[in-house]
Structure 1
Amino acid sequence: MGEISIKINIADRVYPLKVNMEEEEVIRRAAKIINDRIKEYQDNYAVRDKQDLLSMCVLHYATATLKAERKVMHEDTDVTEKVYQLDQLLTDFFSK
């Protein structure tokens, strides 16, 4: 599909973007999530500077991403170990 022009508002600033049509919904949703997180930080902390709020959001989402990556790597390792154990059982079974 083709590219479209959209405007995204993050922290009261408008960013014009050209995106693939199939990405538009994801980008708009991401901007809403960011703005919701900024509002939450504004409401719960004595922080008003948009730069500080954006930095806190970036830290939050970077941390979440790293945790998710670590979890996936750990799960991949667990699956690999289980497959290896199963392979050993089958090898032992069929070699008798």
Structure 2
Amino acid sequence: MSEKLKIKISIANRVYPLTIAPNQEEGLRKAAKNIEAMISQFEQSYSVQDKQDVLAMCALQFATQVEQKLLDNKYADEAVSLKLEALNALLDAHLDSERS
């Protein structure tokens, strides 16, 4: 079993000690950096003073991005499936004509 790594992540002027697998460190640090950047953007754009409001807006933004990607992937998967079905039908028709 891999050794755990103890790190500290700072978000919204609070430090969070975490114990993680070493391969998670880069992703966590990038995520924290993205959250900090979004906090800064919201504070500048909307003059929000309450960190809880800013964090809620960040959570909504990230959740929306995840949901949109899931929807986009679903539609892409459906489009690929339809194209594959059409291609399969063409191949079946061609093979049937070859057999006749």
Alignment-derived partner of residue 63 in structure 2: 62
Could you tell me which residue of structure 1 aligns to residue 35 of structure 2? 34
SS of residue paired to 1:95: helix
Q: Does 1:18 align with 2:13?
A: no
Instruction: Give 1:43 shift.
Output: 1.1
Alignment partner, residue 79 of structure 1: 80
1: CA distance, partners of 2:49 / 2:30: 23
Q: Please, what TM-score do these two structures have when normalized by structure 2?
A: 0.93
| Higher mean C-alpha deviation, range 1-10 or range 54-63 | 1-10
- Counterpart in the other structure of 1:4: 5
Structure 1 spans left out of the alignment, 5+ residues: none
> After TM superposition, what 4+ stretches of structure 1 lie above 6 angstroms from structure 2?
none
Give the aligned CA root-mean-square deviation in angstroms: 0.7
Shift of 1:67: 0.7
Give 1:51 deviation, angstroms: 0.2
Percent of aligned pairs sharing the same letter: 38
Distance 2:88 2:82 in 1: 10
Identify unmatched segments of 5+ residues in structure 2.
none
- CA distance in 2 between counterparts of 1:78 and 1:64 reads 21
Rg larger for: 2
